[in-house]
Structure 1
Amino acid sequence: MSTHDSAHASAPQVGVDATDTRHLRLVIASALLGTTIEWYDFFLYATAASLVFNTLFFPDTDSYVGTMLSLATFAVGFLVRPIGGIVFGHVGDRIGRKRTLAVTMLLMGLATASMAVLPTAAQVGVLAPILLLVLRIVQGFALGGEWAGAVLMAVEHGPRGRTGFFGSIPQIGLPLGLGLGTAVFAVLQTTLDAADFLAWGWRIAFGVSLVLVIVGFVVRLAVEETPSFRAAEAAEVTVRTPITTLLSDRTLRRPTILGLLSRWAEGAAFNTWGVFAITYATGTLGMAKVPVLWAVTLACAVMAAVIPLSGRMADRIPPTWIFASGVALYGVAVFPVFALFSTADIVWFAVGLVIVFGFVHGWFYGAQGTLYALLYPTQVRYTGISFIYNVAGVYASGLTPLILTALIHAGDGSPWRAAAYLAATGAISAVATAFLRPGEPEATLRRPVEHPEPVTVGA
């Protein structure tokens, strides 16, 4: 019997009556709304870094240096995420997923809303970028615990045979959050003149976050704790320090190391097409900002539609196959997509984004949450997938816009060095994913216990 089949066979039947159905709908709404808000907040900063912050907070530099400094503050959010992942992973594995997610949402929302009232460098000098950096650190810290918790709330509530689909729901929040952010900026730049947009218009996008967070917080409080965590807690099989267990137990090292490598392509890809592409198109290629933002928004809409289809497929075939095939395809597609970008034609730019960002990224991203959740037992699952997602986020996500900007600058505007780097990440991640074995026997800790309610995939 294959690993996938054995994991499936070990799962208990989960009945879903009318009451359960209503609660599952609430779980889906909570996961989708929560991650959409969190990613809106986090990547709104990325869009602003390319269009606003380089001018308002780093004004005494040339365009290249100002953009690099602005993107550096963007990268800091990823540097802090592993710390947030360890802290909130510990809390989530010890006291539960529900309360942890409520805290992460409040922190993220307050930090983003505070950016709406930040003074600029023209008003307070060097204090402006310092305050911006502090709030970005809070954002990164909060997001470090958000993604893993949202995925587990969905996967661990998912009925047998539908965990792949449920695990894909929080993933939809990423393209929706980014798409919402780029759409808001596009509308503001269309309705306001350049002077008003830079003076106060961009602040509206950040202020909206406070309203969204209040709604999301109320919904999250209404969701029950996951069955897997409740069962582990009742059986008293939680561990004292999940991060120590994760790093010291040799049976958990292999999936952790391979998971870090498999995540490389996904992080690099998203921050290339969703963040760097805006800077590259409007800066290096000289394309108009608003059409570029709408192109990114269109690609995000396509991705949001593809992700649940990928999740449904992860209930029929191993998620490793979906993820490995997707990151390999991304590595191959990088060169033709940059060739389309190099035309500096908005139509071809949009076509390239829709293909590689909408379809390809949506295909492998939809299976990612379920794939990583299946690597760990309940006691360390929050910490484990937080560790993979956030540590890899430092080199795979946060540094990507800086690396690509530097490579293109070194090549006098040529994108091929950057494309080669991205293709390499696709190859590395495809190989690492092929060696992952999700759903292996759950009794891997030094204090072996049977997984109270194992998550599984399969028809």
Structure 2
Amino acid sequence: MLRLASASLAGTAIEFYDFFVYGTAAALVLGPLFFPSFSPLAGTLAAFATFGVGFLARPLGSAVFGHIGDRYGRRPVLLGSLLLTGLATVAVGCVPSYASIGAAAPVLLLLLRFLQGLGLGGEWGGAVLLTAEHAPEGRRGLWSSFPQTGPAVGFLLANGLMLGLSATLTDGQFTAWGWRVPFWAAGLLALAGLWLRRSVEETPQFRALAETGGRAEAPLTEVVRGHWRLLLLTGGALAVGYAVFYSVTTWSLAYATEHLRVERTVMLACVMAAVALKALATPVMAVLGDRYGRRPLCLAGCTACALWMFPFVALLRTADPLLMTAGCFVALLGMVAMFAVVGAYLPELYAPRIRCTGAAVGYNLGGVLGGALTPIVATALADGSGPPWGVAVYLTGVALVSLVCFALLPETNPALVRAKEAAGAGTTAGAAEAAAPA
């Protein structure tokens, strides 16, 4: 399990490195380089729009790779998605700026971002099922939290490299070529990930399906027709996690550097510290999910996010590094209470024959609802000299919607489900005995 979980973590870390390095570049340099005729605000909005395209591609990627995973196995998904995302990321680092090739530059940027999202949409389902379908029942949440730790590791790799380059290069050097280096480094990371995953075995549950002929012929059709309500609920439930994460890691970076005049390196360090603490909290939350259930953790996380968004904005406005780090960390702690357990939660909601498609599409639908629009909406709402309370209102609203969606989902922790069923059976038997004639 440790070897499998490590391969899963490494893959998601590399894939999310590719995804996050674009978000950081969008917040810092892509606007002036690829949309120079726009105002600074419009340029940032346009850069975030290309960032959002990756989210729109993710459900499509989860449908394509989910079909492969449910028909041909989880292992091909792990290799194909990693290769696609890695190649697209390296290519982003090679795209000439608007000054060199004109309008073709943002078009190429848009296309490559779409391919990034396509690959990442397939990665999550394959990585999570690798651990969830191998793990022992009582520790499924813990082992499935390994790929959920990957995004934090990928973020730290991406922003650590950006921070190092930003601190050692002049602004002119960073804008001219320094921002491209993290994209080129993605090629080496992708090769390392493929080497780690070369000997990964197919999961026992898929092998059993293949042997018995139980594989779905059209997984996406089966999911949409038979489980559309579940799909919408999981997408809505996960929206707040994406909204909070990208508000902290992408929007706050742009807002602090542009509106509060915080040094780029200082704000990167604040966000990275908060994300590092989030990574440490992930396995702890997963263990709690194994003990007390997936649904209670998710409800608690949504509630925490709803209550914290106004303090988060207030602390960000102080421009004090310690207070900004604290605000970001508490926001991410609410988010991780949910996302630490969804690696086990979502696969448990779907039957094995459609699990790769159902879990991946639901997860990435949440990305569209919560991640694609949040940096754009937040940037537009924060346009002005006053506190961006509109951002807090927006994020609180998303948290409340997700809270309702989680409340409508069932508990899936196998031990708790069995205990509830046994208690229900005992109550029914007791009632029948009491009602029976003496």
Give TM-score scaled by structure 2 length. Answer: 0.92
State whether residues 32 and 170 of structure 1, in contact with CA within 8 Å, keep that contact through their aligned partners in structure 2.
yes
Deviation, 1:414, is 3.0
Q: Distance in 1 between matches of 2:205 and 2:28?
A: 44
Match of 1:104 in 2: 81
State whether residues 293 and 412 of structure 2, in contact with CA within 8 Å, keep that contact through their aligned partners in structure 1.
no
Q: What SS does the corresponding residue of 2:326 show, helix, strand or coil?
A: helix
- CA 1:429–1:207 in 2, change beyond 3 Å: closer, same or farther? same
Match of 1:38 in 2: 15
Q: Distance in 1 between matches of 2:298 and 2:18?
A: 26
Q: Distance in 1 between matches of 2:194 and 2:411?
A: 32
Match of 1:56 in 2: 33
Match of 1:436 in 2: 409
| Paired-residue identity, % | 38
State whether residues 316 and 457 of structure 1, in contact with CA within 8 Å, keep that contact through their aligned partners in structure 2.
no
**Structure 2, unaligned stretches of length 5 or more?**
420-438
Match of 1:176 in 2: 153
**Amino acid in the other structure paired with 2:4:** V
Q: What SS does the corresponding residue of 1:221 show, helix, strand or coil?
A: coil
Match of 1:391 in 2: 365
Q: Distance in 1 between matches of 2:62 and 2:158?
A: 24
Match of 1:231 in 2: 208
Match of 2:400 in 1: 427
Instruction: Give matches, 1:12-411, under 5 Å.
Output: 24-249=1-226, 252-357=227-332, 359-409=333-383
Q: Render the CA deviation track for 1:38-92: whole Å, top value 9, x for unaligned.
A: 0000010000001111121111211001000000000011111111111111111
State whether residues 92 and 183 of structure 2, in contact with CA within 8 Å, keep that contact through their aligned partners in structure 1.
yes
- CA 1:181–1:311 in 2, change beyond 3 Å: closer, same or farther? same
**CA RMSD, Structure 1 to Structure 2 (Å):** 1.7
Q: Distance in 1 between matches of 2:231 and 2:98?
A: 42
Q: What SS does the corresponding residue of 2:343 show, helix, strand or coil?
A: helix
Q: Render the CA deviation track for 1:232-259: whole Å, top value 9, x for unaligned.
A: 111111110011111112xx23322221
**Amino acid in the other structure paired with 2:338:** F
State whether residues 161 and 456 of structure 1, in contact with CA within 8 Å, keep that contact through their aligned partners in structure 2.
no
Q: Distance in 1 between matches of 2:347 and 2:160?
A: 32
Deviation, 1:439, is 3.4
- CA 1:225–1:205 in 2, change beyond 3 Å: closer, same or farther? same
Q: Distance in 2 between matches of 1:162 and 1:230?
A: 21
Q: Distance in 1 between matches of 2:246 and 2:21?
A: 13
**Amino acid in the other structure paired with 2:5:** I
Q: Distance in 1 between matches of 2:418 and 2:17?
A: 32
**Amino acid in the other structure paired with 2:298:** F
State whether residues 44 and 206 of structure 1, in contact with CA within 8 Å, keep that contact through their aligned partners in structure 2.
yes
State whether residues 235 and 364 of structure 2, in contact with CA within 8 Å, keep that contact through their aligned partners in structure 1.
no
**Amino acid in the other structure paired with 1:380:** I
Deviation, 1:157, is 1.0
1:417 aligns with 2:390: yes
State whether residues 138 and 415 of structure 2, in contact with CA within 8 Å, keep that contact through their aligned partners in structure 1.
no
| Count of aligned pairs between the two proteins | 419
Q: Distance in 2 between matches of 1:86 and 1:36?
A: 21
Q: Distance in 2 between matches of 1:457 and 1:165?
A: 18
Q: Distance in 2 between matches of 1:353 and 1:430?
A: 20
Q: Distance in 2 between matches of 1:458 and 1:164?
A: 17
